[in-house]
Structure 1
């Protein structure tokens, strides 16, 4: 699901959009999820975060903020795509998620 979303979102910018990272990488001495563990980590991410996405309209404002913050951090730690898209995804992931929320939730926040 995330690979398809990434491809649709950034495919016109990066030819490799939607392709899983195949090399280990890190930044500032911190190692992101090992390339061999990305699919396993994304499966867990989908269970813990993306599976709750459709129910966000029943969350309180604080719960939505917490959900976005936690999912943002977890996604950055997995870092499933090339380093070139990480700044875009890291900054815009919460924004992109909220774009899919129903208008009544956005208005009530």
Structure 2
């Protein structure tokens, strides 16, 4: 990657215009432009070309809420899409790019991860940064906002104070990553608790599900078991099983993990 590419890799604004000794900034989203002031300085690249005009047909309204916030985790669309370096509000497109980066991480870990050593939450944070650093400005950072998903009647809220449980999560990750399991039932039990607790805490703004599956797979690999990536089907009722885990009922998730592991062993 040359110097020019490095400077512009994570650029959020497309160009700036100078008028009466003042700059206006233009941003590109889904191949259209909108005009707004600068977002937080920490996610800007100062090396940018000046362009004097843009076609009126290429102009859209600023789709981002909380644009003035110094906390980039607050800058989202009405549909909940976070500000991103892909310059897109298309959630399906963004998720495809996340999946591609996740595959890159898997490829790297398969070749380079030392499965003989235990690890903790700091390693998980590094995985998150590796996957999302080219997509979100907050990759590898802990969640700093409350989050909710679901309709008004069923919405689940992940509060920021849930992050107070990360030290306990860290110790449990270390404990599980040290163990050498001799049967599928025991490892499925511990992984069901690990995944449920991880997703209950929801340590990151985005990508918690993907990173929890990496975590699960690395523990399986350390024990000579096939990585499953939670190859989910609609009938697996994954979300319901996760919510049971939130109530410390880990059996539904354990049953799913055990089934997926056994399916992979049988298919080998």
TM-score using structure 2 length: 0.33
Q: Hey, which bits of structure 1, 4+ residues long, moved more than 6 A?
A: none
Q: Quick one: which of 16, 20, 23 aligns to 2:138?
A: 16
Q: In the alignment, is residue 35 of structure 1 matched against residue 154 of structure 2?
A: no
Q: Could you say which structure has the greater relative contact order, defined with CA pairs below 8 angstroms and 6 or more residues apart? A: 1
| Aligned positions, number | 101
Pairing 1:69-80 to 2, within 5 Å after superposition: 69-80=192-203
The gaps in structure 1 that reach 5 residues or longer are none
**Structure with the larger strand share:** 2
Rounded Cα–Cα distance in structure 1 between residues aligned with 2:212 and 2:175: 20
Q: Specify the structure having the higher radius of gyration (Cα).
A: 2
Residues 11-36 of structure 1, C-alpha deviations (whole Å, 9 max, x = no match): 3444422111100112222112x214
The whole-number CA distance in structure 2 between the counterparts of 1:5 and 1:94 is 13
Structure 1 or 2: more helix by fraction: 1
Q: In angstroms, what is the RMSD of aligned CA positions?
A: 2.5
Deviations 1:78-97 (A, max 9, x none): 11111x31342354442243
Q: Contact (CA 8 Å) 1:4, 1:18: kept in 2 or not?
A: yes
Q: 1:50 to 1:13 in 2, by over 3 A?
A: farther
TM-score after normalising by structure 1? 0.72
Show the counterpart of 1:106.
225
Which digits, 9 at most, give the CA deviation of each residue in 1:36-95, with x for residues without a partner? 441x2111112234322121x23421111111111111111111111x313423544422
Gaps of 5+ in 2: 1-121, 227-264
Q: 1:12 to 1:51 in 2, by over 3 A?
A: farther
